[in-house]
Structure 1
Amino acid sequence: MNTQILLGALAGIALGLLFARVGPDAQGVGQGIYLCGLVGNLFIDLLKMVLVPLVFTSIAVGVANLRQHSQLHRVWISTLGFFVLSMLLAILSALAAANWFEPGKDLHLDLFPGARHEIAAQHMSFAEFFANFLHGLFVNPFAALAQGNVLAIVMFALLLGIALVMGGERYRNILQLLREALELMLRMVGWIMRLAPFGIFALLTKLLATQDMAVLGSLAHFVAVVLGTELFHGFVVLPLLLILIAKVSPIKFFLGAREAMITAFATSSSSATLPVTLRCTEQHLHVKGGIAGFVIPLGATVNMDGTALYEAAAALFIANLAGIELDMAQQLIVVFTTMLAAMGAPGIPSAGMVTMVMVLQSVGLPAEAIAILLPVDRLLDTFRTMVNVEGDMVGSLVVQRWVNETSSR
């Protein structure tokens, strides 16, 4: 699949450049661009179709899985506290880097003709934003599901997951139903991803045939910013947390964690890396089995530092390309939505492609914009998965330190 996606991207770039060179008035070119538009829009529509049920079931099941460990209050409270802290630091790093380096700032594409006016109409004072934000979180869940109101869906899924935790065995049938629904959604995502090479080919052909070629240079700038920020988070921020909270040497950590991090880099899947991560955490980093057995599998589902960082930076990059300036209130929405989207992303290659749609739509950016990100998604996926897995292992050491300190008091 990875090879097919790469070939589709390269073929789309080549055909798009050829169409741009020949011109849209040449025989067959206009029809080709139209056909590519149909295929590309079909692929985007399929991603939108599974977005709502995937995010709903993934977040509800992820929170409800804490029921299995409800007796370990100190462990899971410490775990969730660290996960929120590390992802928040990753997202803030991404926003700081994107605002500082401004990838795509000088290149305004006419890809999204209505988006600029729609977002401009949404600008409001912080007080108005906060009131509307709270009002939008709690709405009729059926209306939210029908309208694709992502933030309201996420909030209802969180509350449902918490209710399932508190209800225990009484609601085991509902939890099992949600788990099976999540499995069905992941199966459907697998089907849609089989069409990804064709969708990427069509989207890139139309993009390069109708837009400024400078988008490729701007994309390279974006890749450099994301990779730099991922490396900063992985080799500066997380080691600092390791030193300050867990009191563990980063050198000792990287020597013990290198096998899992290399596997994560090669597979781009935190779920596939899970057995290696568990072995490294318990045998090399000497984390107790009870803590590692809880923190690492949960982290593979909800702790996605690298994914959250990438999606936050990508939202600002797309906004810059569209000539839209996101104000502080809208960037706060990006922070909130990105954290929840990262928690809802399955630990499989390119799963962030689906949740990226959620982040873009939360601030009114069109989902079609992911066409620009698809050619580099696989490359960036390797680095962000490595950072995701590193964050899980750092989290297990931090949680062990916190639990030991609490128990000794």
Structure 2
Amino acid sequence: MKLPSLNAQIVIGCLLGLAAGGWLSTLGSAPVVGDVLYGAKMVGNLFLDLLRMVLVPLVFASIVTGVANLRAHDQMHRVWTATLGFFMLTMIIAIVIGFGTAHIFRPGEGLHLEMFAEATRGYQARQMTLPDYIAQFMRGLFQNPFKALAQGDILAIVIIALFLGIALVIGGERYRNIRNLMTELQELCLMVVGWIMRLAPLGLAALLLQLVATQDSALLASLGHFIVVIIGSTLFHGVIVLPFLLWLITGVSPLRFFRGAREALLTAFVTSSSNATLPVTLRCTEQHLHVKKDIVSFVVPLGATVNMDGTALYEAAAALFVARLAGIELDIASQLIVFFVAMLGAIGAPGIPSVGMLSMVLVLESVGLPTEAIAILLPIDRILDTVRTAVNVEGDMVGSLVVQKLAGGAREG
């Protein structure tokens, strides 16, 4: 008998976890409840520990590879500087929108989950003066690479990976073996992630069982609020911000853009994968939006790796949502760390479904938030991923038009 797809298995696992948790909550303090919750905690923690196991090498290899891939296009100096500049600008705007909407609408406020109590006790909110904060932040950025890798210090690992990636760009062909090694390490880590994700239905069922058995229905209302906030803010970025930047820089009307990009955006929405949409994106950008082939062939594939506006927006807002669920109000220092990690974590995030969960773990761990929160976020992730992937792809196509304008003029057509 053919098994359902992994996504279908995850949905089934989540539904079973919700149902079992609801059933346990009706039993009160019966002895069986404690035994089942203990077993669920063991299974859930195993799944989270497996994700943490592969997180550091995957993040390190992905960021090094993402930056080092610029080397192949170093002859197109104006093109890639304009590309990176535009991608950084839109990602910063997206994160600001994510933070802004999370602060304005405050999803998760007033709901303190007992499941996160241990993580809350271990969290130390630091009240520091600005000079003290800057000094501590800088010390945290630059560390012994072996110490940072061994201790899983995410912020320092990201910085080390950036330096190594830039060194590989400058070093060129002399260091192609190291570049190939990093690419192969990334591929191996993704293979391991694929194995771990086979346990996702069971792991998420166990985590959700704990959650529902120990919480009330207020969580569902808070989760619905969060979904509305994320979809609304992501659509604002995709329908208002990106088309406005496109019109401001190139003069191309939003109507003309969406007419030419429609096929790629629909494909991205359905597949939730920037990589799967890549052939359609390339064709629409070149044939319908009339961008030169040499610019398209660089900007769009690079964007599928490093330009993740929708993902960065979601992760910034989700970090504040999880903090409120844990009864924590992130200080400005922690929010700046989330800002930095969400942006840099998107550089090497592969454009495939479910791997976004790992980058979410990366953001949560960077400021000491409970990674158990993925039990709440993953069941709704597929809904949100459709919209944010479409916005990610839209950003690549808008970027192609902008880069063509800034780096070489437009083709007539």
Pairwise CA distance, 1:117: 4.4
On the 8 A contact 1:126/1:329 being kept in 2, the answer is no
1:5 aligned to which of 4, 10, 13: 10
Aligned residue in 2 for 1:16:
21
Residues 237-276 of structure 1: pairs in structure 2 closer than 5 A: 237-276=241-280
Q: Distance in 2 between matches of 1:360 and 1:27?
A: 34
Q: How far off is 1:101 after superposition? A: 0.4
Aligned residue type for 1:379: I
Q: CA RMSD, aligned part only?
A: 1.3
Asked whether the 8 Å contact 1:52–1:150 carries over to 2, the reply is yes
Counterparts of 1:125 and 1:344 in 2: how far apart (Å)?
33
1:188-235: CA deviations, max 9, x gaps?
A: 111111111111111101111112331111111100100000110010
Q: Is the 8 A contact 1:287 1:400 kept in 2?
A: yes
> How many Å apart are 1:120 and its aligned residue?
3.5
Following superposition of structure 1 onto structure 2, how do residues 164-313 of structure 1 map, counting pairs within 5 Å? 164-313=168-317
Q: Distance in 1 between matches of 2:207 and 2:118?
A: 19
Aligned length: 405
Does 1:96 pair with 2:100? yes
Deviation at 1:118, TM superposition (A): 4.0
Maintained 8 Å contact 2:125/2:330: no
Unaligned runs of 5+ in 2: 1-5
Q: Secondary structure at the match of 2:114?
A: coil
Structure 1 residues 52-131: aligned runs within 5 Å = 52-131=56-135
Q: Specify the alignment match of 2:398 in structure 1.
A: 394
Q: 1:54 & 1:404 partners in 2: Cα distance?
A: 36
User: Quick one: which amino acid aligns to residue 201 of structure 2?
Assistant: P
Which of 130, 134, 140 in structure 1 is aligned with 2:138?
Answer: 134
Answer yes or no: is the 8 Å Cα contact 2:101–2:233 preserved in 1.
yes
Q: Which runs of 5+ in 1 are unaligned?
A: none
Quote the sequence identity (%).
Answer: 64
Query: Is contact 1:103-1:221 (8 Å) kept?
Result: yes
Structure 1: distance between partners of 2:259 and 2:30: 59
CA distance in 2, matches of 1:129, 1:21: 48
**Kept in 2: contact 1:60–1:158 (CA 8 A):** yes
The secondary structure found in structure 2 opposite 1:190 is helix
Instruction: Tell me if the contact between 2:102 and 2:229 (Cα under 8 Å) persists in the aligned partners.
Output: yes
TM-score, normalised relative to structure 1? 0.97
Tell me the residue number matched to 1:369: 373
Whole-Å Cα distance in 1 between the matches of residues 127 and 275 of structure 2?
40
Q: Which residue of 2 aligns with 1:329?
A: 333
Q: Residue type matched to 1:321 in 2?
A: L
The separation in 1 between residues aligned to 2:397 and 2:64, in whole angstroms, is 24
Q: Could you tell me how far apart the structure 1 residues matched to 2:114 and 2:315 are?
A: 22
The 1-side partners of 2:311 and 2:130 are apart by: 28
Distance in 2 (CA, whole Å) between partners of 1:155 and 1:292 is 29
Per the alignment, in what secondary structure is the counterpart of residue 115 of structure 2? Answer: coil
Asked whether the 8 Å contact 2:68–2:165 carries over to 1, the reply is yes
Query: Which among 129, 134, 143 is matched to residue 147 of structure 2?
Result: 143
Q: CA deviation at 1:270?
A: 0.3
User: Which deviates more, 104-113 or 133-142?
Assistant: 104-113
Per-residue Cα deviation, 1:246-271 (whole angstroms, up to 9, x for no partner): 21111011011111111111111101
Measure the CA separation in 2 of the matches of 1:344 and 1:125.
33
Opposite residue 101 of structure 1, the aligned amino acid is F
In 2, Cα distance between the equivalents of 1:52 and 1:74? 33
> Aligned partner of 2:17: which letter?
G
Shift of 1:329: 2.1
DSSP-derived class of the 1:113 partner: helix
2:352 to 327, 348, 351: 348
Secondary structure in 1 matching 2:276: coil
